Amino acid sequence: MSSPRFDGKLVLVTGAAQGMGSTIARHFAGLGAKVAVNDIRLDSRLESLASEIGGVVAPADVSDPAQVAKLVADLQSSAGDVDVLVSNHAYMTMDSFLTYDEAQWWKIIDTNLGGTFSLIQNVLPGMRRSGAGRIVVTSSIWGVSGWPEATAYAASKAGLISLVKTLGRELGPENIVINAVAPGIIDTPQLDVDAASAGITVAEMHEHYAKDIPLGRIGVPQEIAATIAMLADFRLRSLIGQTIQINGGELRSRV
């Protein structure tokens, strides 16, 4: 099968200001899509990205259902119905379970799981009008394996996997196909934070993470973007409700 094309399609990518999100947005634009780029606020990174790829900015805090509804309504007015949703946003803090701040716990759940819920609810009517749609959700290796001191984040990402399984059954008959990706360690700005926390260089952080990966290296955002584009291909109709693990072999389990 040849590479997918998205000419004439409107693709909404959340969490697009940096890291995987910006790479995903660029990848879809390179495949012909009109891309709406979302992040929590309108800043120079989001504006620059939209200008670079000929897309549109769509800032909103996706943990707020009212903001999500306005985001999608504004897109419908200016660019049309969303054909492809890439729910890629994420929020994370870490702490031991017994001392985890309750407000932070719910902020993570409301952003990662609740935000995806609101986004799907709001784009579905347009996809139904079109008679088709594609939704790809970014989960995480931690949603499969869990991780110490990341209970809220891991729980939210595990919830996304279950949401995708369930909606795969519910929406598949309408040619609205939903799947997920569960990336492992990826070369994004988060590694700068990890390295600083560990008191080592970014290069040393790469080596540290690579020790547990059979491939011998961490992933790169382009690998995630290419997989998401494959899952969003409108010619692909039988892969539904699945979670594709992209982790270099670090974790090998069925989800």
Residue in 248, 231, 185 with CA at minimum distance from that of residue 86: 231
What is the three-class DSSP state of 252?
coil
Which of the residues 91, 100, 153, 209 is marked catalytic?
A: 153
- Tell me if residue 243 falls in helix, strand or coil: strand
Using alpha carbons, select from 1, 6, 118 the residue that is nearest to residue 66. 118
Rounded Cα–Cα distance for residues 204 and 209 (Å):
9
Residue 168 near residue 231, CB atoms below 8 Å: no
Say how many Å lie between the first and final Cα of the chain, rounded: 26
153 is catalytic: yes
CA distance 14 to 252: 28
* Distance from C-alpha of 159 to C-alpha of 139, rounded to nearest angstrom: 9
Could you list the beta-strand ranges (E) of 66-143. 84-87, 133-138
Helix (H, G, I), strand (E, B) or coil at 206: helix
Q: How far is CA 164 from the centre of its chain?
A: 12
State the catalytic residues. 153
